[in-house]
Amino acid sequence: NDYKFASAGDDGIVYLWDVQTGERLFEFLGHTQQITAITVFPSSDTSGEPTSLILTASSDRTVIIWNCDSGRQVKKISDFHSTVKCLTVLQRLDLWLSGGSELRMWNRKLELVSETSHFTDSGISNLIELPKNCIAAAIGKDLIIFKLLIPTDNSDSWDIHEVKCLSAHQDNIRSLVNVNELTFVSGSLVGELIVWDALDWTVLAYERSFWDTSSPHEAMQEIKLQKQKEISVQHFTTDGECVFAAIGRGIYVYNLQMKRVIAYQRTAHDSNVLHIAKFPNRQIISCSEDGSVRIWEIKERKHPSAEAVPTGIFSMWGFGKASKQPSQTVKKMQDNVVQSSVELIGDLIGHSSAVQMFLYFPGHGLVTCSADHLIILWKDGERESRLRSLNLFEKLEENGYLLPRF
C-alpha cells in the first residue's frame, strides 16, 4: 500500500518494510529457492475486516500466501508441475492466476477452480487481464488469449478456454502491459513493440525497423548480427498516452496516437536498462545493470528546418537508412514541429551492482533494490528539510519558546 512494500530475493526470503522509516516489519520464511513472482491480493479475514495478502512464487515449485498484518503464512501450494513465473490478481472477479507450464485459476478462499492443460514449451512468462473476462498470456513468441468462463444459472463451474493464438512476434516476448481498457502492448527480445486492440486482438501498430530490403529473412539476419541484449525490450510502462520502453541501454518514448517514437536517449546507461517508470511533471526514472539510477525530464525542442526523422526504433541505432527525398521529408516533419528530448536531471549514486527495479511512493520517496543485497530508501531532500523545520517549530511552540517576550 502507500506505507508498506515487500522485497524478495534469490535466497527465497521475503521481507515486509515500512516505507516511512525503512523499518523491517516481517521476515517471511517458507521458500527454499529464489522468488520468481510476487503480488498483493486484497482480501478479508473471517471478521470481515479488510486485510492484504502477499502471494509469492518460487523456483521450488511452490506458491505461498502470507498475511501482511500478522506476518504469518496462510497457505502453501506445492503441486505445480514447474516453476510459477507470474502471478496476476483479477480483483473484479475475486480471483488470482498463476502461470507456468499451465495456467491455473484460484478463488478468494485460495482454492483451485480451473486449470489448462500442460504447455510443452517454455511456459507462460507473463499475464495481463483483458476486457470481457479474457486473459493474454505470453508463451514464447506467441500471445495466447484465454476466456474465463464464470458460473451462471445453468452452470456453477469455472473454466478456462483457449480462444486465439497471436503470432506476430519474431522472438520471445519479454514485456506485456495494459495501456487502457482498449489497448495493450507487447515487446520482444529483438526490440519489437506491438500495440494490440484489447477487444478484437488485432494489431494497431508494429514498431521495429524500416529496412531498405524487402526481404524479412535478410532483415532478421542483419538483426542477429547485433548483440541481442542491445536491442531487447527489457521493460515497458505507460501513462495511457505514451509507452516508455527500456530497450538495451536506452530509453524510448513511443506516442500511441502518432504511432512513432517522439523522444529517446540512446545510451541512457552504460549497460542494459532493467526498469523504467513515468513520474509526474514529465519525468522518467530508470535503473540499469551498471548500478545506476537516473532521473530524466522530457523537454520540448524546436527544429529550425525539416529533416528526415526515422520512425523505427532500430533506425536510431543506425539500422537501415533514412530517406533523403524531399517529398518524404515533408511527410516526416514539417517546419518548426515540436519534438521532445530526454535530458538527464538527476543521478542517484549508492548501489555497486545491478539495480533490478524500484518503487515510487508519492510523498515518501523512492525505494531501489540491487544485486549488491542493498535496499535503499531515497527521500526528497528539500521536502524532508521543510518537514524537519516544521517539526522543530512545533516542538518549540509546544515548549513555549516561541511565545512573545516583553
- What are the sequence ranges of the domains in the chain? 1-78, 81-167, 203-211+229-301+336-397
The per-residue pLDDT for 155 is 67
Tell me the CATH architecture of domain 1-78: Beta Barrel (2.40)
Locate 153 and state its grid cell. Answer: 444459472
Q: Compute the distance between CA of residue 262 and CA of residue 57 in angstroms, rounded to an integer.
A: 38
Per-residue pLDDT tens, the chain, 406 aa: give them. 778 999 998 999 999 999 888 899 999 999 999 999 999 988 655 555 567 899 999 999 999 999 988 999 999 999 898 899 999 999 888 899 999 999 999 988 889 999 988 776 678 999 999 999 999 999 999 999 999 998 876 667 889 999 999 999 999 999 999 999 999 999 999 889 999 999 999 999 998 853 333 344 444 444 444 455 568 899 999 999 999 999 999 999 999 999 989 999 999 999 999 999 998 888 999 999 999 999 999 998 765 544 444 444 333 333 333 444 444 444 444 433 447 899 999 999 999 999 999 999 887 889 999 999 999 999 875 655 655 566 666 666 666 665 555 5
Span 18-74, pLDDT tens digits? 988 889 999 999 999 999 999 998 865 555 556 789 999 999 999 999 998 899 999
pLDDT digits (tens, 9 = 90+) for 384-402: 565 556 666 666 666 666 5
Place of cell 514464447: 140
Write down the CATH superfamily of domain 203-211+229-301+336-397: YVTN repeat-like/Quinoprotein amine dehydrogenase (2.130.10.10)
- What is the rounded distance in angstroms from the CA atom of residue 91 to the CA atom of residue 40? 10
pTM value surpassing 0.85: no
Residue 336, judged by CB atoms within 10 A of its CB (0-12, 13-18, 19+), counts as exposed
Inter-residue contact 370 to 354 (CB < 8 Å): yes
**149, 159 contact by CB (below 8 A):** yes
**Which residues make Cβ contacts (< 8 Å) with residue 317, sequence separation at least 6?**
226, 230, 231, 266
